Structure 1
């Protein structure tokens, strides 16, 4: 019995039906299949840059002024949320200070410090210094009223419930404990929630749990009908714009080109009022001093938002609102 392979036993048969270049022919066929797959892929609609939560029905949107434009709805909803959190206010002064000047809660008792006297909050708020906001890793000495992680409105049952609403807009359910922890900072989901509540769809704004996601979206022009575009500083914002800064290790970025998608720590606030005569901009943001807070931003010598007037928040860019 011949135990050799069939090719060796029947060479003429195999030379006619399976030529020596069969492997090359097979590779050519695979190449054609790959090309067809690539061509068919070109007709497949591209997916969003990240998973998006199902848009909420109109009935669940906050009430805004009838006939308000999308830009006006953004501003109104930010105001409403700030009031719902108790109206905490932070002043970002030209003296590099960042002090809580008004809060619905008394100053927390910090380790190594005596309890604050009932009337001392205003005095502490007027002192020079900066806050201990989790959005900033700088820990320079300060004498301001401040709310570290685990304190402030976010640590109350009402604050937890409100912040959980923001996380739900990106499809995440978080616990009250997570909301008070630094690695669950909720400022970006606050922005995402406001934009969806104002009626912006996925063609205009993609939600995310990192500010750098939607900043890069605008910088790289990935959306078909973007609601925002990136503008460098110094510049004067308008109500409905956002102002953004790097934080932590990326606090002093040189330009928006250095921002990595989902990897650069940032913070952005929604501008709600501008007073050029008083050199003051009011902006509302989430997770500022552990609450939704209004920031009173004192403008510098340029009379515009810039990256040098206040070292606590060296602003990097404006997200210019393109909506009516």
Structure 2
């Protein structure tokens, strides 16, 4: 939808998509570049609209509307490209140069330079002596995600008790698409678990946490995971659909899932789902970093007890 009006002597053009609404004032549009305009004809059109069109009646020319819709599409793609710049950062990659960002995302370097300047101003990126890193503004926003914050706050006492009881690394994770996202991790001093981190992701079918969630998820969720392809992380990862379905059936029986070197060779894990009163899995708890299956089985009752206790609190 395209709409324009004047407020207090200022022209405001609004163009809305299904996901966002963007307002531009006449001062923005006189320059044209604020909405990503490179077409001289469209730039001229915006300047003309910003200075001389009566907005009490609908626009007269279909070509005007078509050109402004083109501007809208350009603006939306610019936003997505800026987000792709942020997505170039990966675990273990804390800093990137402008050239790295352009190369990883395919965004032209001149365009990336302009977007980076905006992202730095907003706080999504920070400059360092040698490049760029993610900014504190993203950290602050991440901790405002309602589901993550509420579940983490509720689960933290149980995680701490589990850690004190076992002295092993303990995790809280939720499902996002076909992956788990680690919401909290309390790390054991005895053995590092380097392949997971708070905010990190791993495939559902390759982790005890993910399988615990999958086992209590609707059938269509399991079907989607299988249809996407069971790509392995290690040589022990489950890649056969029948084997995964059999494992999930066993997990539903005992309410505990095991990672038998499926996410990292040499490491074993036990996890249990967090299921609310409607039988919907909202996440899972795990104990990880053990070096044998016998140790994972020994700690399974502890993680099961913690998960059952926390599950009862979900609807309290």
TM over 0.5: no
State the TM-score, normalizing by the size of structure 1: 0.25
Higher strand content, 1 or 2: 2
Q: Which has the larger radius of gyration?
A: 1
Larger RCO, structure (CA 8 Å, separation 6 or more): 1
Higher helix content, 1 or 2: 2
